[in-house]
Amino acid sequence: MASMMDFGVKEKSQWCAGCGDFAIVGALKSALLELGIEPKDTVISSGIGCSGKTPHYLNVYGYEGLHGRSLPVASGIKLANHKLNVLAMGGYGDGYGIGAGHFVHIMRRNYDMAYIVHDNQIYGLTTGQASPTTQLGMKTKTSPEGVVETPFNPLASAIIGGATFVGRAFAGDIIHMKQMMKEAIAHRGFALLDILQPCVTFNKLNTYEYFTKRCYKLQEAGHDSSDKFKALEKAMEQTATNYEKIAVGVLD
């Protein structure tokens, strides 16, 4: 039986102090441990970006590939050895930008894996440019007058695209995030878990305080995750102009 120490590594993290990625890795270690999954039975495929460093900080098998290609690599690993617990880890640019084509097609194929996306609404690794999920009107290096493009909605896209598990968590609530990870990993089929992960260095709008005030838990609100139309309704609550209510939990 594995212990928490078995998932640890000696390498020092290169993330900024306070980055939500620390909580994501910590929660993932606990989730794997509580699910009884051994390090030797887990593979993490990642892309490029701050999130791409995740396999470096967990003592499991890992593959850090090309930008936007974490899902094809994870698919190949799962097809080659379906007994492995396969996770794909990436950012919004990696998954919802350059990798969006893979994101769309893996949902209809419904491979048995979890896709955990570190979503901080800014390109942090390249020092603060607008990303596919950057909030409308937000000023960045590439949008000095404010973002004019409608943000990509990953949850609505996943529900419509056929993902059989669609959820969202907030890195500032590590206990709930761990539970969401456990449900996504245990799910038989393709699971998307979008994690709202504050970038403390380059995103001064979507902070821990910002999300704490706006996030509410779907299951506590009585949401029926078996109703796809209700799930889509919840996914669409957060629109380009309305960020006052942000649903976290299992949508579908």
Q: Report the pLDDT value the prediction gives residue 44, as an integer from 0 to 100.
A: 97
Interstrand relation of 246-250 and 165-170 (parallel, antiparallel or unpaired) = antiparallel
Q: Report the pLDDT value the prediction gives residue 16, as an integer from 0 to 100.
A: 94
Do residues 4 and 28 touch, judged by C-beta distance below 8 A?
A: no
Tokens read off for 120: 């901080």
Residue-level pLDDT, tens digit, the chain, 252 residues: 788 888 989 888 999 999 999 999 999 999 999 999 999 999 999 988 889 899 999 999 999 988 889 999 999 999 999 999 999 999 888 889 888 999 999 999 999 999 999 999 999 888 889 999 999 999 998 999 999 999 999 999 999 999 999 999 999 999 999 999 999 999 999 999 999 999 999 999 999 999 999 999 999 999 999 999 999 999 998 776 678 899 999 999
| Termini Cα distance of the chain | 32
DSSP state of 44: E
Query: How many angstroms separate the CA atoms of 224 and 175, rounded?
Result: 21
Do residues 171 and 198 touch, judged by C-beta distance below 8 A?
A: yes
Q: Report the pLDDT value the prediction gives residue 243, as an integer from 0 to 100.
A: 81
DSSP state of 97: I
| Longest pairwise C-alpha distance within the chain | 54
Q: Report the pLDDT value the prediction gives residue 49, as an integer from 0 to 100.
A: 86
Whole-model pTM: value is 0.96
Q: Report the pLDDT value the prediction gives residue 240, as an integer from 0 to 100.
A: 65
Could you tell me which of 193, 228, 232, 190 has the C-alpha nearest to residue 104?
190
Q: Beta partners for 91?
A: 118
Q: Report the pLDDT value the prediction gives residue 95, as an integer from 0 to 100.
A: 87
Torsion sign over Cα 33, 39, 42, 43: positive
What is the CA 56 to chain-centroid distance, rounded? 17
